[in-house]
Structures are given as C-alpha cells and as structure tokens.
Amino acid sequence: MNSQPLLERLQRQLKQSRQRLLVWVQGEQAWCHRQLETALSPLCSGQGVLLGQPLTAAAHAIPSLKAAELHRVLGTTLDFAVVDAYAGFNPNAFGQLCGTVRGGGVLLLLTPAADQWRGYDDPEYASLCVEPHTPADMKGHFLQYLCSILEGSDQLLCWSVAGATWPRLPQTADPEPAEQPCLSLDQAEAVKCVLAVAEQRRAALVLTADRGRGKSAALGIAAARLLQQGKRVILTAPSRAATSAVFERVQALAPDCMSQLLFASPDDLLHQPVQADLLLVDEAAAIPTPVLVELLNCCPRIVFSTTLHGYEGNGQGFALRFRHHLELYRPTTAEYRLETPIRWAGPDPLEHLSNRMLLLDVDTQPLPSPDQSLLLETIDQAQLSQDPALLRDLFALLLLAHYRTTPGDLRILLDSPNLQIHVLMQQGQPLACVLVAEEGELPDALAQTVWEGRRRPRGHLLPQTLIAQEGWGEVASWRAWRIMRIAVHPLLQQQGLGAQLLNELECMAVAAGVDYLGASFAASESLLAFWHHCGYRPVRLGEQRDPVAGTHALLVVRPVSDQVRQWLPRAQHWYGQSVLRRLPGALQDLEPERLTLLLGGLWQPDAADLDTLKRLRGFAQDQRTLESSLLPLSWLLEQTLPLWGQAGIGCDDQRLLCERILRQQPATAVAEPAGKRAQLQRLRNLCDQLLALLPSA
C-alpha cells in the first residue's frame, strides 16, 4: 500500500489543527534512517534537529546534537525533531526536545523493534553504571516501561517494516482571539495580574501553567510595559537560560529598555540589597523552598512563576511546599493558572503521551485517613516496573517532596544497579521514601589512583569525596550506604517520618554489615538541623556555593561499625580545621551564623597558656590594639567558635568576630555596630565574654 498520500493528509491535518504527534519508527537503525529520507520525508520538512549520531547517508542533512548540547536549541521552535534511541534514550533530553516542537509538528522516535528495544544495550547505561557494575548488569526496566506506554497508546503513528498504525487525533476547540501582543485570553489575564502586583505597595502573585502556555512570555510582556513606564524590574531564575522567553518578549516590545531588565541569580539577591519595583521569579519550582522564603523578604512586590508539569522542577510540589509560607508571610497572595496552550492546540497528543512516558503528569493523591498502621517496605525495581500505579505514586511523592526531581530520576529509579528503595506505606499509598545507593568496598589499586588524583570513577560519591578531597584513604574498603534522596509528603513533614525512615534504615544497615551511612546536601539551616537531630555528623564542606540553593554542599556520615566510630573524631577535627583555614579564601562568602551551625559542638576549647591569656586580657580589659592582638584573638575564636550558639553570641556579634578577626576585613565591611571605634569596644567586650568559655589552666 502506498502510504505517501496518507502521510501527506496527516501532515495537513496536523498543520490545520496545530496539534503535534509522536511518530514511533521501529526497525534496524539503517532502515529507520532511510525512512526519514524516503517514506517519512513529508514529516521532516522545515527546521528540525536530530538527537543522536548524524545520519550516515543523508540526502539533506538534519543538524545533529548530543544530549549535552541540547541547550543550543532550547528556547527555539522546531517543525520536527528526531530522537535516535539507538544512541541512547535520555529522559531529560527527550522531555526538553518535546517542548521545542511547534504546533503542527512531529517528534520522530527511532528505536529497535519493541520486543528488541526492551532488551537493548542502551548507551545511556554507561552513565548509570557504577563500579563494579557494567551495562551487562542492567535489567532494562525503564525501556520495558516505555514500551508498555507506547504500545498502549492510540495517539501516535507507529511505523515499522510490518506496516503503519495510524493515530486517532482528538478534537480541538478554536481558541478565543486575544488582543496583541498576547496570544490567548489566559495570557492577557496573566499580564494583567502581574501589572496589578506592580501597582500595589505590598503584593505577591503565584503564576502557574503547563509548558507551552506562554507563562514566561506573559512575564516578558508585563516587564516591557513596566520598563517603558520607568519602573525597575529584576528577574531571577535557576539559570539565565531559563529566562530566554522573558528577554525575547522585552526585546520585541521594548528594545530600548532591554538593558534595564536586570537578571540576578537567587543567591545574588540574598546577599545584596534589592532595589526594584517588581521582582519576577521564573521557574520557581526549581528553587529550594528556603531560598523562596528569603526572596519574599527581598522585595515588597514579587511574582512567582512556575511550570506545573515540567522537566526542571514540579509545580505541584512547589505549591504544597511553599503555600504555608505564603500564608504566613503574604496571606493576600493572588494565584492565576494559564490553561490555554499557545505553542500548540489542545488537547495535544505529543504532550499527553510524553507526560505519560516521563510521568510529568502525576498529581497529588488524597492522603489516607491518619492512623498508626505505617509499614516499611523494600521495593525492588522489577516489582516497581510491573506495578504502574505504585510507580506513579512513588514518583509523585519524589516530585512533590523535592524541588530537583526530573525525568532522569525516573530512569535511575528503575534502572540504577546499586539502588535500594525503601518506602513507608499506609493503606497501600507511599507517604515517605528513601533511595539508597550502595557504595564503597573499592579495590585497593582503584582507591590508590583516586587518592593520587589520577582517577574519578563514576559513582561512589561518599568514599571518592573522602579519599580525593579529604585524603582519608582508609575509607576505600568500608561499605557505605548513601542516602540519595529522602522524601516525605509535604503535608506530613515535621511529624518524624523522615527520622523514622533513617532509624529503620540504620537497623537494616547493621544487619547487612554496612560500615557507615552518609548523605550530601545543600547545607541550609533546616537540613543541618534535621541531619544533626538524626545523628549524622559533618566531615566535608564543599567550596563551590550553589547559585540556586545559595549554600555549600555538606557531606555527613553516621557510623555503624566500630572502625568508623573510632575514625569519626579524627575526621571531624580535620573537617573543622579545614573550614577555619578556608574562611579567608574559598569560604569567604560563608555566613557567620551558618558557620556556627556547621562547627557547633565539634570540640571543647583548650586552656590558654599564660602568655596567650595575658595578651587576651590585655586586649579585653586594657587598651592593647586589635592589630597587636590578632594572633591570640584568632586562637580564642577558633577554640570557642563551636560554643558560640549556646553562649548566646548573637548574629551581629558573630559577623563582627568573623569579619574583623578571622577574615581580617576592614571596619567598613561590617554594618553593626557602625564605625571603627564602636566595633573595637564591642570586640573587647566579646573577648571578655569568650574568655569565660575557656577551661581553667
């Protein structure tokens, strides 16, 4: 049968309805590539890209990209896109590419025949394997899951050697016209809501939408109007690249004002005064909740905009995690949701199918009635891949509870060979879970090359960091369980479920002969308090500050075996000294109040020798200068710093001590107290107070 007329009719239908379609091309790779040049060529006209290796013998070249290069087309609009799964199926890249296809376009997915794709040696396995696992150990649960979704859908074109299965396209509704430059009534109303915030003395707005609804463009239209009125607008987001649609609208509508639209990272906003008539926070779901709370205090007029079901963070979880903070700090916060697609017409087959494939469409499930029948279950990946309802509920929990959950985590959940999944269940519904990576027991030869700085094998974050960064070669042979993710339903947080999970996990670790548990996380005050409460102790503070979370990465451990218990005091002493020595340099942006949390309780001060004590008293009680007393004062601060919190040293005083003595900054670097003379007197008083914390000689 000649399929050409049918394909051409399908293409016309897609163009007229502005719907998008997934075309699943199954067969040998060379055959799939030939189809793009021959039978399927009507669908491959216009601007497009290929995710994968370049076509071997193409009459017309389709630009090819690797997953790591996909940022080059994000923000653009394509007529078609090709994903060559022979080069590996990357869930994040697939989700991103789907969002670039315009209405009337297609996404072509090239795979082996379904029964072969399930067991295909996917090149992506190399990124999931950790020592000693190899791609041969992979069970292919994620590909099996994808095949089940695709085979169960009637809203795609399935193309193979055996023939074609044609799609059933849903009916679309004609959109109501909107006044330019807005492209939908939804978008016009969103612009109106943003402008209303700018007119009030103190106001906040939460703007939500699925992808393709023109949410970021609405921010750009509103920003252009405000800039033309002489207003000052600041834009923030997880990255500047995430705001391209905002800048494009301002460039189109108010090009003379482009230089006045300022972008600042969330971390920058927290460390410098914000002087703006309006602060726009785009893709807020991909920003940690503690940072969002601090941003509330940065500007009296603020708009939070986020994607509800997106690959950069899930807006459903954002709403639950952040809502009670809004009710507390901004109880009059307005909300608006854009429903009408702009880049394509709804209902859209590609959007529907890609959401199901990547579980981007999972929503909050009603919580069961509270009781005490919580059951801890260990779930293996084969069980999870064969239970779609449990998989959706578990991934929904991860999306809701953590701001950085992405489609890539779905593949890790199903395929990672060193992963354990432990879930607290109530009436068959997951309420909390912990994902654990098995690490450690590195071969001696490999561990030596890591210690020497010559190798960094994939995975094994805990032992590799401790060996390569801190020099603890002995940890290589120890068996570790790293807590990759701990998630508790947002409505059940602060009720002890996370601590309960960790306690149960420790019991399992003891039974399994594990040496230590550990985790690495952005060291916010709330997370520091949680992990400390659960008995985990810090052993490594990273140097790079996360520009989104605004904090440094902290590695903590919980000893299980005796050898780790004996090692921990040495590791903590080394950690404390490392933090102190890096304060003037790599850690110069570390806040003093966070420093005391990071070092709190690590050691007890030593007694001062007579010479040091005499010099300290000379500064505190007489008129010896600060410059002549820096050495003994530095010693005093280092000895007593872990006790500052319990001694009642306030935040301003902590900042004064750190900046003037430990970092040796000038008086102008400290706001309170103002002036060199006032600071000197306060330092003398504090020195006297700290001397009381030293033991008697």
Q: Yes or no: say if 411 and 375 are a contact pair by the CB < 8 Å rule.
A: no
Cα dihedral angle (304, 307, 312, 317), rounded to 10 degrees?
Answer: 80
Q: What are the b/e assignments for 22-55, b being 16+ CB within 10 Å? A: bbbbbbebeebbbbbeebbebbbeebbbbbbeeb
**Residue at token pair 């004062």:** 633
How would DSSP label each residue in 133-168? --GGG---HHHHHHHHHHHT-SSEEEEETTEEE---
Q: Yes or no: say if 167 and 156 are a contact pair by the CB < 8 Å rule.
A: yes
Contacts of 53 (CB under 8 A, 6+ apart): 64, 84, 86, 87
If 0-12 CB within 10 Å is exposed, 13-18 middle and 19+ buried, where does residue 251 land? middle
Query: 667 among the known binding-site residues?
Result: no
- Look at residue 276 and give its three-state secondary structure: coil
**Which two tokens mark 633?**
């004062």
Query: 222 among the known binding-site residues?
Result: no
φ/ψ of 519, rounded to 5, equals -155, 160
Give the integer Cα–Cα distance in Å for 308 and 315: 4
Q: What are the b/e assignments for 252-276, b being 16+ CB within 10 Å? A: ebbeebeebbebbbbbebbeeebeb
Q: Yes or no: say if 51 and 19 are a contact pair by the CB < 8 Å rule.
A: no
**Which two tokens mark 222?**
């509103």
- Look at residue 314 and give its three-state secondary structure: strand
Q: Yes or no: say if 213 and 186 are a contact pair by the CB < 8 Å rule.
A: yes
**Which two tokens mark 180?**
């330019």
Q: Closest Cα to residue 587, out of 554, 617, 614, 611? A: 554
Query: 487 among the known binding-site residues?
Result: yes
Query: 488 among the known binding-site residues?
Result: yes
| Element holding 543 (H helix, E strand) | strand 537-545
Q: Yes or no: say if 419 and 409 are a contact pair by the CB < 8 Å rule.
A: no
Question: Pairing state of beta strands 262-263 and 233-236?
Answer: parallel
**Which two tokens mark 569?**
């005091």
Give the integer Cα–Cα distance in Å for 351 and 13: 17
What's at 394, amino acid-wise? L
Query: 87 among the known binding-site residues?
Result: no
| Element holding 437 (H helix, E strand) | strand 429-440
Q: How many Å from the N-terminal Cα to the C-terminal Cα in the chain? A: 98
What's at 464, amino acid-wise? Q
Q: Yes or no: say if 114 and 108 are a contact pair by the CB < 8 Å rule.
A: no
Adjacent-strand bridge partners of 159: 25, 164
How would DSSP label each residue in 464-491? HHHHHTT--GGGGGSEEEEEEEEEE-GG
Contacts of 640 (CB under 8 A, 6+ apart): 605, 647, 690, 693, 694
Give the integer Cα–Cα distance in Å for 465 and 290: 26
Q: Yes or no: say if 526 and 508 are a contact pair by the CB < 8 Å rule.
A: no
Mark the binding-site residues, compressed into ranges. 187, 343, 486-488
Binding residues for ATP: 187, 343
Q: Can you say which residues are annotated as belonging to the binding site for acetyl-CoA?
A: 486-488
